[in-house]
């Protein structure tokens, strides 16, 4: 046993638990914890420009690799309230993240002391645990419990609030005797796996819906093996995209009202059975429950018991970790394959691929200003299977999900349910920390990009290189499109004549903020592209600049002001605003290459 400050114990526990990547801003009330990190030396810290940005960096780091838990640090008062959006984004998408806030001394908590806020009460609805630690002796156990909770069942964030005097207090603590708490995961039984497969093989046109729980469980290889054994098409959700590679013959496309493929919806509407694994039946995936469930049976597998039946009652529910459920299903499926009792679904699988080859959205436009579709076509050409995409919300994200290609788990990193504007840039910096040396490409509309644009300076200061593609139409495009139902275009335009725009081309005039100048002023490199034929060379140049300077590189594409992106209110009434490539020979080059 050794006598030490509670904060020294915290840092030692962080190292033993493997959470050694921190993002934050020091301040008076959290300085003791910073002093412990400095003395210890085993925790790498990235200085953010905004605490919300730090929380998104920690979130991105956690999403980048299985087992990662990003740490976010901030002082008392507004630092904690600034973290709330970050906690929401992590909680909504089942992401483990550990937040520490400083706090006024215990004796001052009820006296409206400077920057003393009840962050525990504020954060509780958005965390697996939020706790203001009032007794120094509770600190090691609270941190130990936090790690167990973040890893147990449905993952999620934890916030620990540390009064200044609690941080400075001395306790007896022996890190050599510390052990992480055991993590229990529910497991599907043999009987449950048999029943689920009995229901699947009784169907004529079954589908597997692969959710983000498969990514969290690091079980993509097991999903692909099961799909291949059964020869059953797979529909990934937005959070599960990449669980089966886009070039796999059983990848049937995404389903939904916005981030979906026309061929995915068409295949789903023909199905008669769906087994959902690690998914939550999100409303942008399902549309109305009546249309989604009509004419088909459902099995739902999820690690969280209360998730079963939350949106609709399945015909059979299994509470299990996605990876462990897939192992149980594989065991039964292998036995039935060896016995020759599995049905032949080859015709059904081939029909899904036929739709994929025929129902591609058109992307090749030569318009100036550019249509966004061409940007995604050129991104597919420029960025290969190793690329990790990071994005959050808006027409940019919706069109990107419709047209980009993802080839592996954790290659599509998206704040799916919360969708906070401004998440993309700081999250990408966290992803770079979590995937050193890999190609990271962020995708933003101009409004998302402007929300937390100051965090570009973090990438410059800490040499965190990535490419940030900004599709600029100087509009709140998704809100403009949704205002069509109200027959208005009200306060959604970001355009103005910038008094400093002398020298800009006629195409780029009137778009307001000069993102190139702002990015360069924050220590990064930036390229503006106005002609679609220049996109490919611009992406190539961005790679070179990123390699040379080790900073974020912004590629801004000047788009036409108004483009509507395909979406609808039901799976069978998605409005296609652009022509479809109805014949295989008209499909974009990149997707034809995948299909071949």
Q: Give the SS3 label for residue 467.
A: strand
Q: What is the pLDDT of residue 580?
A: 53
Q: What is the pLDDT of residue 585?
A: 45
How far is residue 3 from each of residues 135, 144, 169, measured CA to CA in Å? 16, 19, 10
Q: Rounded to 5 degrees, what are φ and ψ at 466?
A: -155, 170
Cα(8)–Cα(13) distance, rounded to whole angstroms?
A: 9
Look at residues 177, 208, 226 and tell me which one is the last residue of a structural domain. 177
Contacts of 2 (CB under 8 A, 6+ apart): 172, 173, 174
301 and 365, same domain (yes or no): no
Q: Which two tokens stand for residue 200?
A: 């699947």
Q: What is the pLDDT of residue 1?
A: 64
Asked, for residue 587, whether it belongs to a domain, the answer is no
Total domains in the chain come to 3
Contacts of 210 (CB under 8 A, 6+ apart): 223, 234, 235, 236, 237, 240, 243, 244, 277, 278, 279
Contacts of 384 (CB under 8 A, 6+ apart): 439
Beta bridge partners of 412: 389
Look at residues 155, 177, 199 and tell me which one is the last residue of a structural domain. 177
Q: What is the pLDDT of residue 216?
A: 95
Asked, for residue 515, whether it belongs to a domain, the answer is yes
Q: What is the pLDDT of residue 494?
A: 80
Q: What is the pLDDT of residue 499?
A: 86
Asked, for residue 586, whether it belongs to a domain, the answer is no
58 and 77, same domain (yes or no): yes
354 and 364, same domain (yes or no): no
128 and 144, same domain (yes or no): yes
Q: Is the dihedral of CA 21, 25, 26, 27 positive or negative?
A: negative
CATH of the domain at 316: 3.40.50.1220
Give 300-353 pLDDT, tens digit per residue: 999 999 999 999 999 999 999 999 999 999 999 999 999 999 999 999 999 999
445 and 345, same domain (yes or no): no
309 and 170, same domain (yes or no): no
Closest residue by Cα to residue 255 from 280, 287, 225, 230: 287
Cα(164)–Cα(166) distance, rounded to whole angstroms?
A: 5
The pTM (predicted TM-score) of the whole model is: 0.93
Within the chain, which residues score under 70 in pLDDT?
1, 578-596
Cα(557)–Cα(527) distance, rounded to whole angstroms?
A: 9
Q: What is the pLDDT of residue 588?
A: 44
470 and 556, same domain (yes or no): yes
Closest residue by Cα to residue 351 from 530, 240, 509, 204: 204
325 and 467, same domain (yes or no): no
Asked, for residue 419, whether it belongs to a domain, the answer is yes
Burial call 10-45: b when 16+ CB within 10 Å, e when fewer: bbbbbebbebbbbbbbbbebbbbbbbbbeebeebeb
Give 139-183 pLDDT, tens digit per residue: 999 999 999 999 999 999 999 999 999 999 999 999 999 999 999
376 and 489, same domain (yes or no): yes
Q: Rounded to 5 degrees, what are φ and ψ at 272?
A: -125, 0
Structural domain harbouring 64: 2-177
Cα(496)–Cα(498) distance, rounded to whole angstroms?
A: 6
Look at residues 358, 375, 399 and tell me which one is the last residue of a structural domain. 358
Asked, for residue 588, whether it belongs to a domain, the answer is no
How far is residue 506 from each of residues 503, 520, 560, measured CA to CA in Å? 9, 22, 13
Asked, for residue 573, whether it belongs to a domain, the answer is no
CATH of the domain at 95: 3.40.50.970
Asked, for residue 585, whether it belongs to a domain, the answer is no
Asked, for residue 592, whether it belongs to a domain, the answer is no
Q: Rounded to 5 degrees, what are φ and ψ at 391?
A: -160, 175
């Amino acid at each position: 046993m050794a006598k030490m400050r509670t904060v020294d114990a915290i840092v030692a526990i962080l190292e033993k638990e493997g959470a050694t990547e921190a993002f934050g801003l020091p301040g008076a009330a959290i300085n003791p914890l910073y002093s412990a990190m400095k003395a210890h030396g085993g925790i790498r810290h990235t200085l953010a420009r905004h605490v919300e940005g730090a929380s998104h960096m920690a979130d991105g780091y956690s999403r980048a690799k299985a087992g990662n838990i990003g740490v976010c640090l901030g002082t008392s008062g507004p630092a904690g309230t600034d973290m709330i959006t970050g906690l929401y984004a992590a909680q909504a998408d089942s992401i483990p993240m550990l937040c520490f806030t400083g706090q006024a001394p215990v004796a001052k908590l009820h006296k409206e002391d400077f920057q003393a806020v009840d962050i525990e009460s504020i954060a509780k609805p958005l965390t697996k645990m939020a706790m203001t630690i009032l007794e120094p002796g509770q600190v090691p156990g609270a941190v130990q419990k936090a790690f167990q909770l973040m890893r147990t069942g449905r993952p999620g964030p934890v916030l620990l609030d540390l009064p200044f005097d609690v941080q400075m207090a001395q306790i007896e603590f022996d890190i050599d005797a510390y052990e992480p708490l055991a993590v229990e995961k529910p497991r599907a039984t043999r009987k449950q796996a048999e029943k689920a497969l009995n229901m699947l093989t009784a169907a004529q046109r079954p589908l597997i819906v692969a959710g983000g729980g498969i990514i969290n469980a690091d079980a993509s290889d097991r999903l692909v093996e099961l799909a291949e054994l059964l020869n059953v098409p797979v529909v990934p959700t937005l959070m599960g995209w990449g669980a089966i590679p886009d070039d796999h013959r059983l990848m049937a496309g995404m389903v939904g009202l916005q981030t979906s493929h026309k061929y995915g919806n068409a295949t789903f509407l023909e199905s008669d059975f769906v087994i959902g694994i690690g998914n939550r039946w999100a409303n942008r995936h399902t549309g109305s429950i009546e249309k989604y469930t009509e004419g088909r049976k459902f099995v739902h597998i999820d690690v969280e018991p209360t998730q079963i039946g939350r949106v609709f009652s399945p015909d059979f529910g299994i509470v299990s970790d996605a990876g462990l459920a897939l192992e149980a299903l594989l065991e039964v499926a292998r036995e039935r394959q060896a016995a020759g009792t599995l049905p032949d679904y080859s015709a059904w699988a081939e029909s899904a691929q036929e739709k994929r080859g025929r129902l591609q959205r058109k992307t090749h436009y030569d318009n100036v200003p550019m249509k966004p579709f061409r940007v995604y076509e050129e991104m597919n050409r420029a960025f290969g299977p190793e690329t990790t995409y990071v994005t959050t919300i808006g027409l940019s994200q919706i069109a990107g999900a419709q047209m980009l290609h993802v080839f592996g788990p954790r290659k599509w990193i998206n704040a799916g349910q919360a969708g906070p504007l401004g998440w993309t840039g700081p999250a990408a910096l966290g992803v770079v920390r979590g995937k050193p040396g890999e190609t990271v490409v962020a995708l933003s509309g101009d409004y998302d990009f402007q929300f937390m644009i100051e965090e570009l300076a973090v990438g410059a200061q800490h040499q965190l290189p990535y490419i940030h593609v900004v599709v600029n139409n100087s509009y709140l495009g998704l809100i403009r499109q949704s205002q069509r139902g109200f027959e208005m275009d009200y306060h959604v335009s970001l355009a103005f004549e910038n008094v400093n725009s002398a020298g800009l081309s006629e195409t780029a005039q009137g778009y307001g903020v000069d993102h190139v100048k702002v990015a360069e002023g924050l220590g990064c490199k930036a390229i503006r592209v106005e002609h679609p034929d220049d996109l490919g060379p611009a992406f190539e140049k961005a790679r070179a600049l990123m390699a040379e300077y080790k900073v974020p590189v912004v590629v801004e594409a000047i788009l036409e002001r108004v483009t509507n992106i395909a979406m609808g209110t039901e799976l069978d009434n998605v409005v296609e605003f652009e022509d479809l490539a109805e014949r295989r020979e008209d499909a974009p080059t990149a997707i034809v290459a995948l299909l071949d």
